[in-house]
Structure 1
Amino acid sequence: MTSAASRSAPGPAWASRNYSLLTAAAVVTGLGANGSLIAAAFAVLDAGGDGGDVGLVAASRTVPLVVFLLIGGAIADRVPRHRVMVAANALNCLSQAAFALLVLTGEPRLWQMMLLTALGGTGQAFFGPAAEGMLLSSVDGEHAGRAFALFRMATQSAALGGAALGGALVAAVGPGWVLAIDAAAFAVAGALRSFLDVGHIPARTPGEGMLADLREGWREFAGRPWLWGIVVQFSLANAVVGAADSVYGPLVARDSLGGAGPWGLALGAFGAGTVAGALLMTRWRPRRLLLAGTLCVFPLALPSAALAVPIPVGVLCGVMFVAGTTVEVFGVSWMTALHQEIPEDKLSRVSAYDWFGSVALMPVATALAGPAETAFGRAGSLWGCSGLVVLVTALVLLVPDVRRLTRRTTRAAVAPLPSADAESAVGGLG
């Protein structure tokens, strides 16, 4: 499936040039982005903001992400995906550089931080589906599971280093410099991604327009109950976990754990857990992909519960490590399932529906985190986050395909989905 140019790369024989470039670029951006998440929260707090303001800035990133995701997916299945990725990286670089300059040269206003964060979210909306489609098309079926595990191990290692280093740098030199480092990381990653080879991807046949492309992607998405069932699950789980991490976590750290440094260490422990989980998945090949992965989502409820207590930093780091390890089992299983079940020419559109569902409620959750804390208390809100993760994960196990989908070494034949199945699935979502 790969051209000679795309096969030529150092490392394992199955690691194509594209796979190596994608992994290297993802590591670079991971180092910057994970530190910048901490930096953005503390930039708001340092400017005099409260938990509600932190939530608004976090929500301003996810609103354009939700608005533009489906368009980004359709475009990425129409034009060379690497061009979309490079353009998105350029936008992220410029927005983060402006954010850094604003923090370093004066007192940033809330609306300015929200606007620049929204530009970053817009870039991510176009980047995400293109990047996932590019990665899924860069490996063959026989080596897909190991390739995705190694990719995620590399990127999660970067998350580990980025979070720990970001927390330390925020404490040492302030959030502005951490945001500047993230801007530089986007510039380097964009340069690497400009060398991606798309010659092995079949030329796209002219479509009937953007809406027709979106409908075709929806049909692929809605015709698979395991796919939309898990996306609905993570729509709720990601919303509450995101609120806990981006809003309540920094507040608990400030009030009970000692500030940005310990919180960065806790996030780093989660990153270390994901590295361990990815390493496990280079060896473990569960036959029932989604059953094994979904069972491993339950521990994702533990960090919110730990923050609700709150427990000492050392114990919190242990909890975060366990949650990171188990959720990474799901992540690798999920990518493997998408790779084997979704036709290549629809990967970005299906990925866009996946991303859309997964982040759709995050703006609401982060914006409501402050009011929820006022109404229920911080501990009550965190216990609610934990309980909801357990509930939705248990419910998705009722979907038969989640329990039954098995691993294969080849892609599914590209065949049209039965219209009755698609109509039934659409009705179920409605």
Structure 2
Amino acid sequence: MHSYRRDLAMFRDRSFTLLMAARTVSTLGISFAPVALAFGVLGLPGATATTLSVVLAAEALPTVAFMLVGGVIADRMPRNRVMMGGEALNAAAFFSLAVMLLTGWTPLPALAVAAAAAGIATAVLYPTLTGIIPDVVPADRLQTANALLRLGENFSRITGLVAGGATVVLIGGGWALIVSGVMFTVAAVLVAAMRLTQVEGSPPGKDGGSPLGKGNAPGRHSVLADLREGWREFISRQWLWVIVAQFSVLVMAVQAAHGVLGPLVAKENLGGAGAWTAILAGEAVGMIAGVFVALRIRPRRPILVATLFLIPSALPYLLLGLNAPLWMIVAGAAVLGVCFDIFGILWSTTMQREIPAEALSRVSSYDALGSLMFGPIGLLVAGPLAIVIGPENALIGCAAIVLLSCFAALLSPGVRGLRTPEPARETVHS
């Protein structure tokens, strides 16, 4: 049996506590940033929606372009140093954006360069975060660590969305971006205080060395060679590439529904922004509840269970498409939040257990790239689709895509058959 008291004992580990504090603070900064950047840019003299699109695209494109390189860097160098560098780059990017907005010197190329630096920071941080957790905690505590980290991030997202909007209204987008930069700076300082050593019970590298990503694996001579090695690790596991292929389709539908179709239906049928905010709040509450569920369950077939949990995530899109009452849609969004967080925690834990430590960040970068690559397509086609067939029908289509992608993934023997090792007694290191 697992107990919450045993879960909380994780905080006796100084490195884990620093990591969680850093992630919680950094996520708060990330949550401040979208509202601050959007309204800060739109408030500039002569700015249009196109101006904002250029800045956001300048941030998004480097994230995709540098994701694989970020994985290589995180596997070659100590991951705490890579993470510190990513947080510091984020801080520099948002301080630069803030200074431009506050001084009124806002040439579009300069805004785009600062936004691109933030995108590169994201590309470095994402694969590093997956890889650093096994560097900090032993293998039998991975799921607990992932769940606690997700809990802190979820609370930060909710707090950041509310506080970010209030800060923009009260003191303006530029000052809100200063707040984001300060938070990234604090996160970098917290990560700098971490001291990683080989964790007892953590999987060693293939050469028997440290799993800390210090570039100690033999035969690495180029980025391309490292990427080929990471690709071999990725493609050799059926459960891994099948779920990533599933998510490339699922995320496309979710992006269309969350980014365009859901707000359209909320505006036309449910009363506007207040209704959509209630739906997002229901999802956020569900995400927090999902963490507590994930802390308790230890499935023997984690990827099978995680995929089954994704099936009910189609519910809010179906309810929106059927013009269900608002309370029912909010409840469906809460179900989605529970399902997505349980999946995310089981997925991260399984990757950290199954992938060799010296390749984990590179494999994580392939996971991110594959899962997100069709998301922009969903955003682009959602608007025209809503015009042609109506947003309600398009949302029902999104729900169908989510369901079909889940059932297709369940056809894979690798997804159904992957088992966790026999459970061991959990340990905590102080």
TM-score (normalizing by structure 1)? 0.81
Structure 1 position 68, deviation (Å): 0.7
CA contact (8 A) 1:35 1:162 kept: yes
Percent of paired sites with the same residue: 37
> Relative to structure 1, is the Cα distance of residues 407 and 54 closer, same or farther in structure 2, using a 3 angstrom cutoff?
farther
1:181 and 2:179 matched: yes
CA contact (8 A) 1:160 1:267 kept: no
- Match of residue 161, structure 1, among 159, 163, 171: 159
Structure 1 position 365, deviation (Å): 3.2
Structure 1 position 97, deviation (Å): 2.9
Question: Where do 5+ consecutive residues of structure 2 fail to align?
Answer: 1-6, 199-209, 425-430
Q: What pairs up with 1:167-246 in 2 under 5 angstroms?
A: 167-170=165-168, 175-200=173-198, 201-202=210-211, 203=214, 204-206=216-218, 207-246=220-259
Q: What pairs up with 1:1-400 in 2 under 5 angstroms?
A: 12=9, 16-42=13-39, 49=48, 58-103=56-101, 115-170=113-168, 175-200=173-198, 201-202=210-211, 203=214, 204-206=216-218, 207-248=220-261, 263-308=276-321, 314-400=327-413
> Relative to structure 1, is the Cα distance of residues 339 and 195 closer, same or farther in structure 2, using a 3 angstrom cutoff?
same
CA contact (8 A) 1:301 1:386 kept: yes
Instruction: Report the AA paired with residue 133 of structure 2.
Output: L
Post-superposition CA distance 1:244-280 (Å, at most 9, x none): 3344556666666677666455433322211111111
CA contact (8 A) 1:58 1:246 kept: no
Q: What's the RMSD between the two structures over aligned residues?
A: 3.3
In structure 2, what is the Cα distance between the partners aligned to 1:247 and 1:383?
14
Post-superposition CA distance 1:382-417 (Å, at most 9, x none): 443333222211211111111121222579xxxxxx
In structure 2, what is the Cα distance between the partners aligned to 1:117 and 1:376?
36
Aligned to 1:420: none
CA contact (8 A) 1:56 1:367 kept: no
> Relative to structure 1, is the Cα distance of residues 107 and 248 closer, same or farther in structure 2, using a 3 angstrom cutoff?
farther
Instruction: Report the AA paired with residue 271 of structure 1.
Output: A
Structure 1 position 115, deviation (Å): 4.9
Query: Comparing 32-41 with 289-298, which one deviates more in the overlay?
Result: 32-41
> Relative to structure 1, is the Cα distance of residues 311 and 196 closer, same or farther in structure 2, using a 3 angstrom cutoff?
farther
In structure 1, what is the Cα distance between the partners aligned to 2:230 and 2:388?
40
Structure 1 position 46, deviation (Å): 6.0
Structure 1 position 134, deviation (Å): 0.5
Structure 1 position 169, deviation (Å): 4.4
Instruction: Report the AA paired with residue 241 of structure 2.
Output: W
Post-superposition CA distance 1:50-105 (Å, at most 9, x none): 5x877665544332112111111111111111222122212222222333445556
> Relative to structure 1, is the Cα distance of residues 152 and 180 closer, same or farther in structure 2, using a 3 angstrom cutoff?
same
Give the match's secondary structure for 1:199.
coil
TM-score (normalizing by structure 2)? 0.81
Query: Comparing 401-410 with 189-198, which one deviates more in the overlay?
Result: 401-410
Aligned to 1:419: none
Instruction: Report the AA paired with residue 369 of structure 2.
Output: F
Question: Where do 5+ consecutive residues of structure 1 fail to align?
Answer: 1-9, 412-430
> Relative to structure 1, is the Cα distance of residues 279 and 13 closer, same or farther in structure 2, using a 3 angstrom cutoff?
closer
Post-superposition CA distance 1:169-219 (Å, at most 9, x none): 455655444433222211111111112223324551341322111111111
